[in-house]
Amino acid sequence: MKSHVILLFAPAIIIAAGFGGRSITTAELNDQYSIFDDFEQTDSLWLFSDKIGAASASGVERAKVAIAGPLGLSSQEAVYFVAVVDNEGRALTSACEYRVTGGVIDARWWSLTLYDSETQHYVPNVINRSSWNSVAIPRADNGNWDITISQTPQDDTWLPSHVGEGRAFELNLRVYNPSDVTRARLLNIELPDVERTSC
Amino acid sequence: MLRRQDIIFGGVTLILAAASFFIVRSITINHAPKTVMANIEARIVQGAGGWNACYHNRVFGPRAGAARRANPDSIISSMAYDLSDGPVRISGEVWPQYWSLSLYQQNSDNYFVVNDRQLPTPNFDFVIVQKGAKETSLMGTQIISPTDKGIMLIRRFAAQKSDMPAIIDNQTALYCGPA
C-alpha cells in the first residue's frame, strides 16, 4: 500500500525538487550582495576579486558577476575593490555622512564610484556625479585626497548619496593597469579609508 | 511498519528528487551568463542598428540605462558581433589617456584584452575570426573568438567633461563591420 502512495507522489516530488532548485538558485544569484560572496577580504575594509571576467571563475562566480556587474575587465587589465562597510565594519548607509581619504595608488588611473546597493546603479543627484577619478580629484601636495559622501551638498569634493530615508550603498574602486609592485600585493596595498563622520 | 519495498521506493524517489534539484541548479547557473549576454547584445544591436556595428556612448558621467555597476569615467563603444557570415573588423586610433579593447564570449568571460600602451602604434586594426577558421588573406591582427557571437567593448578614460569632443571624434573615426 505505502509503495503505491510513494509511486503516486514520486513524480510530483521530483518535479517540485526541480522547481525548488531553480527558484533557490535564481534567488541566490540575484541577491544584492551575492556578487561579493566570493570576494577576498583585504587587509583593510575593502573586498577584492581577481575572478571578474576570468576563465578560472567557477560557474556560480561567473553567473553572479554576469548578473550584477557584467562585462568587467579581467585582472590582467584592471582590478576591482569594493567597500560595503566603513572602517569600523558598519554597513554604509545614506543616513550617515562619510569622509573617504586616500593617497597615491601605484597604477595608471583609478576611479571610485558610489552605487545604490539595491538597484546596483548610480544614485540620481543634483550634480550628476557618481564618481571621482585619479586625474580630476583635487590633491594635497603629498598626493593625498579626500571625498565627502553625504545627502546634503558640500563645497569640496562631494559624492552624493541617496536623499531621503537611509539606503545601503557601496563603493567600487577600479584600478587600471596597476604597477607590478601593486599587482604583487593586491590584498595588502594601502587603500582609501572610509570614516563615518556623522549620522 | 515499513516494508523493504517501501524503503527502496522512498529512497529512489529522494535520490531522483535530489538529482532533479542539482541538475536544474546547474542548468540555471550555466544559463544565467548567456541570458545576460543575450540581453546586452540585443540592446547593443538595437542601439547600433544591427550586429557587427558599433554603438557609442557619448554621455559624460552617470547616465540612465547603463549596465549595472557601469563605470561613469569610462566612455564606451560597444559592438555585438556575429561571425556566422564571416570575420569582423575593428580599426581606428587609440585614445591616449587610456584605451582598451576587450572581447567577451557568450559565457561572459573576458577572453581578450589589450590597451593602448601594449600596441606598437596609435592605430589599431583587429579582425575577430571564428575558432577553427583560417583567414590567411585578411590584413590586421586576428583574434580567435571561442564562440560565434560575443561582445566587443572599447573603453576610453574621460577624466573630465572637456575630454568629450575629442573622444567623440575618436569614436566617429572607428570602423566596426565586416572584414
Question: pLDDT confidence of B40, banded at 50, 70, 90?
Answer: very high
Chain B positions in Cβ-Cβ contact with residue A117 (cut-off 8 Å): none
Given this model, what pLDDT does residue A54 score? 85
Nearest to A165 by CA among A93, A117, A84, A89: A93
The CATH class given to the A31-198 domain equals mainly beta
Q: Which three cell numbers stand for residue B146?
A: 571561442
Q: Mean pLDDT throughout B111-138? A: 90
- Helix axis angle for A59-68 and B4-48, nearest 10°, is 40
CB–CB contact B32 A71 (8 Å): no
pLDDT in tens, A119-132: 888 999 989 999 99
Top-confidence residue, A33 or B127: B127
CB–CB contact A63 B33 (8 Å): yes
pLDDT in tens, A174-190: 999 999 999 999 898 99
pLDDT in tens, A62-118: 898 888 888 999 888 999 999 999 999 999 999 999 999 999 999 999 999 999 998
Contact A74, B115 (CB under 8 A): no
Q: Is residue B172 part of a domain?
A: yes
Given this model, what pLDDT does residue A1 score? 55
Helix H or strand E segment including A156: none
How many C-beta neighbours within 10 Å does residue A53 have? 27
Taking the C-alpha atoms of residue A29 and residue B28, their distance in angstroms, rounded to an integer, is 9
Report the range of poorest mean pLDDT among A28-42, A61-75, B18-32, B49-63: A28-42
Given this model, what pLDDT does residue B11 score? 87
DSSP tag of B125: E
pTM of structure: 0.89
A2 touches chain B (CB under 8 A): yes
pLDDT in tens, B59-110: 898 887 788 888 999 999 999 999 999 999 999 999 999 999 999 999 999 9
Q: Mean pLDDT throughout B38-52? A: 95
Residue B10's SS3 state is: helix
B5 touches chain A (CB under 8 A): yes
Chain A positions in Cβ-Cβ contact with residue B17 (cut-off 8 Å): 13-14, 16-17
Given this model, what pLDDT does residue A57 score? 87
Contact B88, B52 (CB under 8 A): yes
The residue to which cell 550603498 is assigned:
A169
Taking the C-alpha atoms of residue B35 and residue B41, their distance in angstroms, rounded to an integer, is 10
Query: Nearest CB to A76: which of B16, B21, B113?
Result: B113
Counted residue by residue, chain A has a size of 199
Which chain A residue lies closest to B22 (C-alpha atoms)? A21
How many C-beta neighbours within 10 Å does residue B174 have? 16
CATH code of B156's domain: 2.60.40.1610
Percent pLDDT > 90 in chain A is: 56
Q: Is residue B35 part of a domain?
A: no
Nearest to B145 by CA among B96, B179, B95: B179
Q: What ipTM was predicted for this assembly?
A: 0.86
Contact A102, A191 (CB under 8 A): yes
Q: How many domains does chain B have?
A: 1
CB–CB contact B6 A2 (8 Å): yes
pLDDT in tens, A144-176: 999 999 999 998 899 999 998 899 999 999 999
Nearest to A173 by CA among A97, A96, A115, A90: A115
CB–CB contact A70 B32 (8 Å): no
Taking the C-alpha atoms of residue A62 and residue A56, their distance in angstroms, rounded to an integer, is 9
Q: Is residue B3 part of a domain?
A: no
Range of the domain at B171: 48-178
CB–CB contact B71 A111 (8 Å): yes
Q: Is residue B28 part of a domain?
A: no
Q: Mean pLDDT throughout B122-128? A: 95
Among A residues 69-88, those touching chain B with beta carbons less than 8 Å apart: 69-74, 76-77
For chain A, what are the domain ranges? 31-198
Contact A33, A120 (CB under 8 A): no
Whole-number Cα distances in Å, B19 to A16, A83, A88, B36: 12, 38, 44, 26
Query: Nearest CB to A109: which of B6, B17, B157?
Result: B157
Q: Is residue B1 part of a domain?
A: no
Residue A195 pLDDT exceeds 70: yes
DSSP tag of B31: H
Top-confidence residue, B104 or A5: B104
Given this model, what pLDDT does residue B1 score? 67
Which chain A residue lies closest to B101 (C-alpha atoms)? A73
